[in-house]
Structure 1
């Protein structure tokens, strides 16, 4: 459930999108009747076996409350979900309720694949979800999904390393991060942080552009980052790299390496989900003991990211009412709170987020408990920073590749920004 999953595996979208469009335009076969009358097929992403008991109980409760409706739960590995759902939607044999994320789901929302929810979800029910989170599952003003579980990034930091560098607290902004990076390197010889620039991996650096006030694309989908703020964002990362304040591996290693370096005590700050503190506790107990959490680092805008998982209902379902009823059941206050506790994530409903589990720090609070409070406190204002758009991973790729070239001195910052803009605008559509 790590945040980088929200960004993974978009590389096949261009090819599969063409295939999907071709299948639809040629007339796909009718939906195969793989479910019986009154049976709702529900797909999740890699939640077995860890949460098998949770979902069995959830489904039993729903079926008891709704006689005549049966839920068939299918759990799909992360690596296979996009291919499987694309194929199923094209063949009109998709399940009735699907667990995806807004960025991927929006690719199919643009092709009218999902049931529109604005007229089907009562206003009083819609208001139970955070409005900023609900917006992540809308495209062109139309709602295509129900928000489910969330994570917001926090700054996990090594208090010992900061103390060795003479720092009393972690940085709150990117401007402070640059100063912190220099002080830590000068005093300890170590790095403040690791932020990958591998195009296929984390979108953290791309999100930083938005946090710094950069508009990525305009209303027509054309590059909008060839501006003074865009050049300043490029320059920020280039300067950090050229001044030796970022590990060289940022050009070749992904977010997994960031976790490894932090657990080894080689970096002072890890930008990640609060849930990773339990991983650190298990893998690196000595580092865990000196770890604490602070709000995620941001730019002058103050914007903070949230990673969202949602539930969507295919437009061609033959069980629209039952599917929606089940999706609303899965994402209601009670069940969101229950799953958030089981999975160490955050709920997307306001009432569930106000539970004492997210607001009261116990006397014997662990670093993970404190991180959960920090993470939850960001929910009211956090947002999906990268807008839903076609070819979003291509945008990340063209920016990262040109940013890398500038870091390596192969291009000036101005040339890198211009080339990235031209590369995005000139791509094959």
Structure 2
């Protein structure tokens, strides 16, 4: 997958996945025991990575084949556009590769169709090598098991404008950490600025509900639960921010670009971002750059949100030991660390984030953000339910907008959003 893009919708996958689909190894499938001899020909599919990282993957494959004589890895790279459709077609046609680059939302329908190998059973010995939250990210509600090795992670800290905090009488060295802190500081910011400065420019997303401590889905994976009293409480508090202009009035239609512009001009006091944004501030808003603060995502659970990519093993491969060994090879600490130094991502392996590369600043903007993000990832979790589709996200956003505008109560809004999400879930 492209490093900078969010994962694509998996809806197409859920439509046409027969349980008889098989991998490139053949129609009969293969053993789930990965303890045998590592040998044989396997295929490895990535998600739009060849253009920028061809030498890296060619060297990695050569290293694997040298480490395990008698193996051969055929590398396939698919374009970003239509990747879920391609996985669906391969699964239905029996041509799904042995080792596949997936995101949690894409592995879910494959696991439910019996096409993703349960790594808790086949490769549980490797579990301790990964961050607990990363290993858990490819579990599927209602199913036992873990269905992909965690690969690279990403997250983003929050930027805040110290000058605006100080002007509002808030301590610029003590930005809000929890939602309680955030709501208190935001209301004060709006009051002190006569509604001219909002603290946030975005409406709450499913990740916000997760970070607030709202249970998002039942354990069976059959229904969403973010319309609980805790969820209603969060949306009610956002409504208070909106009414006080502590939430930007244009938040209902905001994009990352428009929110970024609000922050750049001083109309908003906090905004997520990256090292690229710091460079933009330095060039186009030097006064903001001199007053920029970097802090963790807001969370009341003690865990920030992370985005994770994985490497799945096709349960129908004829060469299970080789496929599992290669998937682990791609995602082990040595290779993840090497990959992280080529692009702005973070390894999912335990201990890797303690490396000086992620802990020591060198005065550059890129390192400043990398160190801040790496620190928060050690106990991060992927809050977005793997079964929560883009259509469901749209439904939630639409209902939240109605509640903020006063067209319906927060309780009605979340009931409607959950009903829409459950209906989409049943449709598969």
TM-score (norm 2): 0.84
Question: 3-state SS of the aligned residue for 2:380?
Answer: coil
**Residue of structure 1 aligned with 2:407, choices 404, 407, 410:** 410
TM-superposed deviation, 1:41:
2.5
For residue 426 of structure 1, report the CA deviation from its aligned partner: 4.7
Q: Does 1:148 align with 2:151?
A: yes
**CA 90–379 in structure 1, closer or farther in 2 if over 3 Å, else same:** same
The alpha-carbon deviation at position 314 of structure 1 amounts to: 1.7
Looking at structure 2, the residues matched to 102 and 146 of structure 1 have their Cα atoms a distance apart, in angstroms, of 10
Aligned 8 A contact 1:145 1:311 in 2: yes
Among residues 162, 165, 169, which one is paired with 2:165 in the alignment? 162
Alignment of 1:360-371 (within 5 A): 361-362=360-361, 364-371=362-369
Q: CA deviation at 1:73?
A: 2.7
After superposition, the Cα gap between the structure-2 partners of 1:294 and 1:336, relative to the gap in structure 1 and judged at 3 Å, is same
C-alpha separation in 2, matches of 1:338 and 1:192:
38
Across the aligned residues of Structure 1 and Structure 2, the Cα RMSD in angstroms comes to 2.9
CA distance in 1, matches of 2:225, 2:78: 37
Give secondary structure in 1 for the equivalent of 2:371.
helix
Residue aligning to 2:179: 174
Residue 108 of structure 2 corresponds to: 106
CA distance change for structure 1 residues 67 and 258 in 2, over 3 Å: closer, same or farther? Answer: farther
Q: CA deviation at 1:185?
A: 4.0
Change (3 A) 1:270 1:313: same
Cα deviations across residues 242-272 of structure 1 (Å, max 9, x unaligned)? 3222334332233343334434554332224
> For 1:77 and 1:42, how far apart are their aligned partners in 2?
14
Pair 424,213 (structure 1): closer, same or farther in 2 beyond 3 Å: same
Of 38, 50, 54, the residue aligned with 1:52 is 54
Q: How many residues are treated as equivalent by the alignment?
A: 404
What are the ranges of 5 or more consecutive residues in structure 1 without an aligned counterpart?
197-203
Question: Who is 1:209 aligned against?
Answer: 209
1:184-263 counterparts in 2 under 5 A?
184-187=189-192, 189-196=196-203, 205-220=205-220, 221-263=222-264
Unaligned runs of 5+ in 2: 27-38
Give the direction of change, closer, same or farther, for the CA distance of 1:2–1:48 in structure 2 (3 Å limit).
closer
Where do residues 273-352 of structure 1 align in structure 2 (5 Å cutoff)?
276-282=274-280, 285=283, 286=286, 287-299=288-300, 301-352=301-352
What residue is the counterpart of 1:383 in the other structure? 381
CA contact (8 A) 2:43 2:74 kept: yes
Q: Of 57, 61, 64, which aligns to 1:62? A: 64
Q: Which residue of 2 aligns with 1:200?
A: none
State how far apart, in whole Å, the 1-side matches of 2:129 and 2:118 are. Answer: 18
1:353 aligns with 2:356: no
- Taking the aligned partners of 1:258 and 1:72, their CA distance within structure 2 comes to 43
Mark the CA change 1:164 to 1:367 in structure 2 (over 3 Å): closer, same or farther.
farther
Residues 2-34 of structure 1: CA deviation (Å, up to 9, x unaligned)? 99944x532x60x5422x14xx27x6698598x
Q: What is residue 268 of structure 1 aligned with on the other side?
A: 269
C-alpha distance 231-106 of structure 1, shift in aligned 2 (>3 A): same
Work out the CA distance in 2 between the residues paired with 1:102 and 1:232. Answer: 28
Give, in angstroms, the shift of residue 320 of structure 1.
2.7
Contact preservation (8 Å) 1:337, 1:353? no
Q: Give the C-alpha shift of residue 127 in structure 1.
A: 0.9
Residues 259 and 271 of structure 2 are in contact (CA less than 8 Å); yes or no, is this contact kept in structure 1? yes
Shift in alpha-carbon separation, 1:319–1:305, aligned structure 2, 3 A: same
Contact 2:99 2:311 in 1 (8 A): yes
Look up the SS of the partner of 2:95 in the other structure: coil
Secondary structure class of the residue paired with 1:78: coil
CA distance in 2, matches of 1:376, 1:279: 17
Which whole-Å deviations, capped at 9, do the CAs of 1:346-383 have from their partners, x for residues lacking one?
Answer: 11111322212223x24x33243233222222233211
2:133 corresponds to: 132
